[in-house]
């Protein structure tokens, strides 16, 4: 009798996926989403239980999707490649609001106070800013014109302190600071000639430095947001000098960069290297040879390790770098299409999407051993709710 009762209780305590009609009554601090890129859907996850809570469908083209969270971490704002902007209620597993705001978009950001959502667009170019509450349009900021028919693509959009956004313009080599402290009258500070073809960007966790990667030349462009009057300056301009460029099958993602103490770890475009940079003066300290062209170079939250994944044809491999010795301490092959990594807020686990095996793998960062595998249809981006409280994520 007791055995039967114990079995019944254990079955009742197992995590199960909820119906989308049933909103959960719980905190959101250990929740997250995993993008199913081919299906145009996402899965809402309980990261403590390693379990699926909901599957949300109907989000359009998610082939290059990213997401940010509301301040209360209840809503995920998902940016689709087709120009879709979708507000998802992760406690109910439902779409709260969806609009198609452009023809081809490449990411977005949420303002410091959580009231505004900004989206950068390839087509028609420029940045559109919406109310986080109902996705109504607040500002439409066109990019610089390339010719009579085309506006520049916008890339590397991030949030910054003082209710600002920062963005770069791919075709015209610019970075803009967009001040939304007065939403009815956006103020734009333009930096021109920052370098050729900025393709992505990052902002440091303290919100001070904005760094844009350059595809058209060696180096990166840096703006000190505490002193924008100093303009943009080129850093790491010699890292690829004299080297034969390797084919770039996928641009590195600078938002997946790594900070550990006074060191920054950045992917080198066209090189099988991770660059080590002194955060205090932005001078190169070293280069770490790695398995392939890095895409994401991400630090465990305590900064002790950096985990690296790679572009095709080496996208079946993950490497782990010790940030003290600057040595690769672990290489393993989780499977083809290891696209995205996300650390738990305190760093005891890392979740890795393995697209070509339709699964997410969860690893211990202490033992670097596999803990669990979860079925997910063609997974790509993984976004935990801890991002709600971090600048630039």
| pLDDT tens, residue order, the chain (393 aa) | 444 444 444 444 444 455 555 899 999 999 999 999 999 999 999 999 999 999 999 999 998 899 999 999 999 999 999 999 999 999 999 999 999 998 888 889 999 999 999 999 999 999 999 999 999 999 999 999 998 889 999 999 999 999 999 999 999 999 999 999 999 999 999 999 999 999 889 898 899 999 998 888 888 899 999 999 999 999 988 765 545 555 554 455 666 678 887 899 988 877 899 999 998 899 999 999 999 999 999 999 999 999 999 998 999 999 999 999 999 999 999 999 998 999 999 999 999 999 999 999 999 999 999 999 999 999 999 999 999 999 988
pLDDT recorded at residue 15? 47
To which H or E segment does residue 201 belong? strand 198-203
First-to-last CA distance in the chain? 52
Tokens linked to 189: 């500070």
What is the DSSP-derived secondary structure letter of residue 222?
Answer: E
- Among 202, 178, 182, CA closest to 190: 178
Dihedral in degrees, nearest 10, Cα atoms 345, 347, 353, 357: -140
- Among 157, 92, 154, CA closest to 125: 154
- Among 261, 208, 265, 260, CA closest to 236: 265
Distances (CA, A) of 75 to 22, 33, 47, 112, 390: 16, 11, 16, 16, 15
Q: Give 69's strand partners.
A: 76
- Among 379, 373, 360, CA closest to 42: 379
Return d(Cα 349, Cα 337) in angstroms, integer.
20
Tokens linked to 208: 């001070």
List Cβ neighbours of 124 (8 Å cut-off, separation of 6 or more): 102, 103, 142, 151
pLDDT recorded at residue 256? 64
Return d(Cα 307, Cα 297) in angstroms, integer.
6
Return d(Cα 230, Cα 244) in angstroms, integer.
33
Backbone angles phi, psi at 332, to 5 degrees: -150, 165
Are the beta carbons of 237 and 219 closer than 8 angstroms? yes
Return d(Cα 120, Cα 108) in angstroms, integer.
6
A 10 A CB-CB count for 290 gives 22
Are the beta carbons of 65 and 56 closer than 8 angstroms? no
Return d(Cα 93, Cα 79) in angstroms, integer.
17
To which H or E segment does residue 11 belong? helix 2-13
- Among 67, 176, 69, CA closest to 126: 176
pLDDT recorded at residue 243? 56
- Among 80, 60, 73, CA closest to 122: 80
List Cβ neighbours of 166 (8 Å cut-off, separation of 6 or more): 156, 157, 158, 160, 175, 176, 177, 178, 201, 203, 210, 223, 225
Tokens linked to 333: 């092959």
Backbone angles phi, psi at 138, to 5 degrees: -105, -40
């Amino acid at each position: 009798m007791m055995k039967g009762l114990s079995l019944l209780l254990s079955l009742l305590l197992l995590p199960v996926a909820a119906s989308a009609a049933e909103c959960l009554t719980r905190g959101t601090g250990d929740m997250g989403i995993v993008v199913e890129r081919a299906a145009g859907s996402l899965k809402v996850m309980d990261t403590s239980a390693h379990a699926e809570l909901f599957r949300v469908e109907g989000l359009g083209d998610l082939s290059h999707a990213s997401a940010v969270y509301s301040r209360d971490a209840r809503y995920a704002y998902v940016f689709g490649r087709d120009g879709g902007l979708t507000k998802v209620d992760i406690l109910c597993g439902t779409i709260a609001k969806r609009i198609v705001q452009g023809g081809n978009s490449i990411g977005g950001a949420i303002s410091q106070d959580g009231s505004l959502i900004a989206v950068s667009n390839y087509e028609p170019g420029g940045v559109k800013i919406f109310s986080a509450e109902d996705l109504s349009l607040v500002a439409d900021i066109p990019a610089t014109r390339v010719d009579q028919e085309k506006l520049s693509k916008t890339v590397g959009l991030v949030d910054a302190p003082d209710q600002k956004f920062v963005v770069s313009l791919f075709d015209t080599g610019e970075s803009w600071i967009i001040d939304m402290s007065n939403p009815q009258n956006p103020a734009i500070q333009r930096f021109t000639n920052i370098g050729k073809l900025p393709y992505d960007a990052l902002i440091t966790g303290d919100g001070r430095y904005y760094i844009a990667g350059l595809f058209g030349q060696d180096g990166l462009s840096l703006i000190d947001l505490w002193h924008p009057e100093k303009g943009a300056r080129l850093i790491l301009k010699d890292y690829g000098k004299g080297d034969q460029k390797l084919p770039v099958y996928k641009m590195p993602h600078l938002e997946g960069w790594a900070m550990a103490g006074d060191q920054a770890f950045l992917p080198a475009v066209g090189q099988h290297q991770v660059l080590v940079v002194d955060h205090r003066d932005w001078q190169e300290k070293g280069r770490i040879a790695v398995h392939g062209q890095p895409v994401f170079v991400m630090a465990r939250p305590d900064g002790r390790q950096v985990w690296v994944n790679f572009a095709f044809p080496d996208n079946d491999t993950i490497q782990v770098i010790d940030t003290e010795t600057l040595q690769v301490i672990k290489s393993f092959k989780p499977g083809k299409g290891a696209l995205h990594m996300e650390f738990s807020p305190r760093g005891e686990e890392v979740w890795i999407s393995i697209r070509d095996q339709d699964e997410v793998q969860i690893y211990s960062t202490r033992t670097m051993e596999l803990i669990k595998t979860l079925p997910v249809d063609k997974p790509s981006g993984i976004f935990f709710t801890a991002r709600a409280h971090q600048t630039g994520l």
